[in-house]
Structure 1
Amino acid sequence: MAHDDSVLIASGLQVLKRYASQGETLTYADLNRELGEPFKLGANFPGQIGKLCDDITAAHSSATGLELMISVLVCDSETGLPGDGFFKLAASLGRLAPTGDVDAKRAFVKAQERRVFMVFRPAKTSTSGFAPNR
Structure 2
Amino acid sequence: MPHDDSVLIEAGLQVLKRYAARGETLSYGDMNRELGEPYKAGGNFPGQIGKLCDDINARHSSASGLQLMISVLVRNGETGLPGEGFFKLADSLGRLPLTDEMDAKRAFVQSQEKRIFMVYREAKAPVSGFAPYR
Q: TM-score, normalised by structure 1?
A: 0.92
Q: How does 1:1-134 map to 2 (within 5 A)?
A: 5-129=5-129
Give the counterpart letter for 2:42 in structure 1. G
Judged with a 3 Å threshold, the aligned counterparts in structure 2 of structure 1 residues 90 and 34 are, in CA distance, closer, same or farther, namely: same
Conserved in 2, the CA contact under 8 Å of 1:3 and 1:38? no
Alpha-carbon distance, 1:123 to partner:
1.7
Conserved in 1, the CA contact under 8 Å of 2:3 and 2:52? no
Give the counterpart letter for 1:21 in structure 2. A
Give the counterpart letter for 2:106 in structure 1. R
Give the counterpart letter for 1:116 in structure 2. I
How many residue pairs get aligned? The number is: 131
Instruction: Could you tell me which runs of 5 or more consecutive residues in structure 1 were left unpaired when the two chains were aligned.
Output: none
Structure 2: how far apart are the matches of 1:103 and 1:6? Answer: 35
Q: Deviations over 1:2-45 (max 9, x none)?
A: 57610110000010000000000000000000000000001200
Instruction: Report % sequence identity.
Output: 74
Give the counterpart letter for 2:24 in structure 1. E
Instruction: Could you tell me which runs of 5 or more consecutive residues in structure 2 were left unpaired when the two chains were aligned.
Output: none
Q: TM-score, normalised by structure 2?
A: 0.92
CA RMSD, aligned part only? 1.5
Judged with a 3 Å threshold, the aligned counterparts in structure 2 of structure 1 residues 123 and 39 are, in CA distance, closer, same or farther, namely: same
Structure 1: how far apart are the matches of 2:22 and 2:78? Answer: 22
Q: Deviations over 1:72-117 (max 9, x none)?
A: 0000011110000000000111111111101110110011000001
Report runs of 4+ in structure 1 exceeding 4 Å deviation: 1-4
Alpha-carbon distance, 1:128 to partner:
2.2
